[in-house]
Amino acid sequence: MVFNSYTFVAFFILILFLHNLPLSWKTKKVNLLLASYIFYAAWNPPFILLLWLSTVIDFFVGRALYTQENSHKKKLLLVVSLIGNLGMLCFFKYGTFLLDNFVALTHVVGIDFNPAKPNIILPAGISFYTFTTLCYTIDMYKKESKPVQSLLDFSLFVTFFPHLVAGPIVRPPQLVPQFESPRVASRKQLLDGLLLLTLGLFMKVVLADSMLSSTADSIFDSSGVLPVLDAWIGVFAFSGQIFLDFAGYSTCAIGVALCLGFVLPQNFNYPYAAIGFTDFWRRWHITLSSWLRDYLYIPLGGSRNGKAKMYFALMMTMLLGGLWHGANWTFVAWGGLHGLYLWVEKYFRDKTGVHSDHKPSANTLTNFGFALLTFMLINITWVFFRADTFTRSWGMLQSMFGMAVDGKPLLTTLAILKVAVIVPLIVLCHWFLRNTKVLDVAYKLSWFWLGIIWSAMLLVIIWAQESGSSFIYFQF
């Protein structure tokens, strides 16, 4: 089930109705849990067993980790959780990838090994709920928060349907306390949530799917040499598409949760207005960035043990962050390129004495120039994210920088114009709104103009619904 479907509309209306009935809080939580399982089962019902297994193991292991005083037993319990969670993730997400690379390695050394191709189906959202449960057991190991007392609350924390399949990646202290006492959305929360849901669907269905996806697909699915203009337009189209698609999902998720009275963490903060790459990762997929920082970068040493180890920890974090996105070496290259950008940025900041936590406060022309440079360099990384092979990635880069003979134009004038209008508007909106919140902007408008804009978005969403597709990050 996806947010951009009429099935979800009916499902959500029913959930809202049940959640606002005069029932006990425990009954309402059971309703939400069952609804979350139904939401997930719409893809592939048997994979609910994986969700149950991960939930039950980490609930009991987490409690034991918190109370266990024997260090050896604590480490053994942590290993059990890591094997259970990462084992499932590695098998379903990376099993075929690891086998293919092993076969390639055997062929290099002269061994003719050709096993049967495995038929492994990737469970929706496994990367997201695995990271959600992992942070709980690691926090229990460190005793950084108290264990969840109720299996019902913990199960709902893991499977709460707005964030289940594509985030935001929530931490226990962010969501579990909200399940401990009755919650029903206030009138303002309901209106805010519905507005965010509408905005998220507009970003996804109208802009990402109807306006940009076909252009990006036609360019990245082509096998020949492309004109420079077509190549750049295709990359810009994907750059806009992936932001609108993923930020649209996160906006929908936050809005749906708010309609039920729950608050999810922010996941995007105008990333294409970032001034530098440290700033970009503070604004793009914020919950993943903070997860990688707290559970990978800092345990690897962070910035505490000298510059050499810091650069190593940074690159390893970005490489593994790239691999988290998909079982393909192109994703590793994407992460590595971001790691290289961060290396260069930190080197020059050290030279100039500008600290990495420096946040430009003024929207000056110079800062805008740095933001545009950051945006252009990020577009180069999107080539590796979108292309499924290095051959296609290299061919795209050759076309973009005129290193190959121009091919026959592929895009229509209309397709070029759509990208040339939408993507600059995204960048400008990010720049002028970079220090604000979308709801604050909405409520600065009069109710008349807010109603006109809201109604227009709804009408265009209904008109464009046929072009809607699954969210890009469902594959991760």
Same-domain status, 164 and 208: no
Give the count of domains, the chain.
2
Same-domain status, 177 and 206: no
Query: Residue 472 pLDDT > 80, yes or no?
Result: no
Query: Residue 23 pLDDT > 60, yes or no?
Result: yes
Three-state DSSP class for 286? helix
pLDDT-derived band at 467 (thresholds 50, 70, 90) equals low
Q: How far, in Å, CA of 145 to CA of 62, rounded?
A: 11
Residue 444 in tokens: 């600065």
**pLDDT > 70: what percent of the chain?**
96
One-letter amino acid identity for 9? V
Q: Which residues contact 180 (CB under 8 A, 6 or more apart)?
A: 153
The pLDDT value given to residue 475: 63
DSSP string, 46-82: GGHHHHHHHHHHHHHHHHHHHH---HHHHHHHHHHHH
The more confidently predicted of residues 352 and 238 is 238
Same-domain status, 312 and 173: no
One-letter amino acid identity for 156? L
Q: How far, in Å, CA of 410 to CA of 205, rounded?
A: 24
Query: Residue 466 pLDDT > 80, yes or no?
Result: no
Same-domain status, 292 and 394: yes
DSSP string, 442-459: HTTS-HHHHHHHHHHHHH
Q: Is residue 382 assigned to a domain?
A: yes
Q: Which of 163, 285, 325, 338 is catalytic?
A: 325
End-to-end CA gap in the chain? 16
Q: Is residue 225 assigned to a domain?
A: yes
Q: Do the Cβ atoms of 229 and 410 come closer than 8 Å?
A: no
**Of the ranges 77-81, 402-406, 414-418, which one carries the lowest mean pLDDT score?**
402-406
Helices 228-259/413-433 angle, 10° precision: 50
Q: Is residue 9 assigned to a domain?
A: no
Q: Do the Cβ atoms of 419 and 236 come closer than 8 Å?
A: yes
Query: Residue 316 pLDDT > 80, yes or no?
Result: yes
CA angle 400, 274, 449 (to 5 degrees): 105
Same-domain status, 354 and 380: yes
Q: Is residue 235 assigned to a domain?
A: yes
- The helix, strand and coil proportions of the chain, stated in percent and rounded to the nearest 5, come to 70, 0, 30
Domain that holds residue 276: 199-475
pLDDT in tens, 244-266: 999 999 999 999 999 999 999 99
Query: Residue 314 pLDDT > 80, yes or no?
Result: yes
**Of the ranges 77-91, 175-189, 287-301, which one carries the lowest mean pLDDT score?**
77-91
The pLDDT value given to residue 356: 55
What are the phi and psi torsion angles at 346 (to 5°)?
-65, -35
How far, in Å, are 75, 172, 300 from residue 81 at the CA level?
10, 16, 20
Q: How far, in Å, CA of 281 to CA of 271, rounded?
A: 8
Structure letter (DSSP) for residue 297: I
Q: Is residue 318 assigned to a domain?
A: yes
Same-domain status, 332 and 471: yes
Same-domain status, 211 and 332: yes
Residue 259 in tokens: 């309609």
Same-domain status, 247 and 351: yes
Same-domain status, 377 and 247: yes
Identify the residue whose tokens are 């974090």: 317
Q: Is residue 396 assigned to a domain?
A: yes
Count other C-beta atoms under 10 Å from residue 402's C-beta: 11
Backbone φ/ψ region at 188: left (φ over 0), alpha (ψ -120 to 50), beta: alpha
Q: How far, in Å, CA of 320 to CA of 326, rounded?
A: 10
Query: Residue 357 pLDDT > 90, yes or no?
Result: no
Q: How far, in Å, CA of 203 to CA of 13, rounded?
A: 21
Same-domain status, 204 and 124: no
Q: Is residue 11 assigned to a domain?
A: no
Q: How far, in Å, CA of 356 to CA of 276, rounded?
A: 10
Q: How far, in Å, CA of 334 to CA of 355, rounded?
A: 25
Q: How far, in Å, CA of 193 to CA of 304, rounded?
A: 41
Q: What is the mean pLDDT of residues 272-279?
A: 94
How many residues does the structure list for the chain?
Answer: 476
Q: Which residues contact 360 (CB under 8 A, 6 or more apart)?
A: 275, 279, 367
Query: Residue 374 pLDDT > 80, yes or no?
Result: yes
Q: Is residue 193 assigned to a domain?
A: no
Same-domain status, 204 and 177: no
Q: How far, in Å, CA of 417 to CA of 415, rounded?
A: 5
The pLDDT value given to residue 223: 80
Q: What is the mean pLDDT of residues 172-191?
A: 92
Mean pLDDT for all residues in the chain: 88
Residue 398 in tokens: 């050759």
Q: How far, in Å, CA of 239 to CA of 379, rounded?
A: 6
pLDDT-derived band at 470 (thresholds 50, 70, 90) equals low
Same-domain status, 401 and 457: yes
Q: Is 430 a catalytic residue?
A: no
Q: What is the mean pLDDT of residues 102-118?
A: 79
Query: Residue 144 pLDDT > 90, yes or no?
Result: no
Q: What is the mean pLDDT of residues 127-132?
A: 86
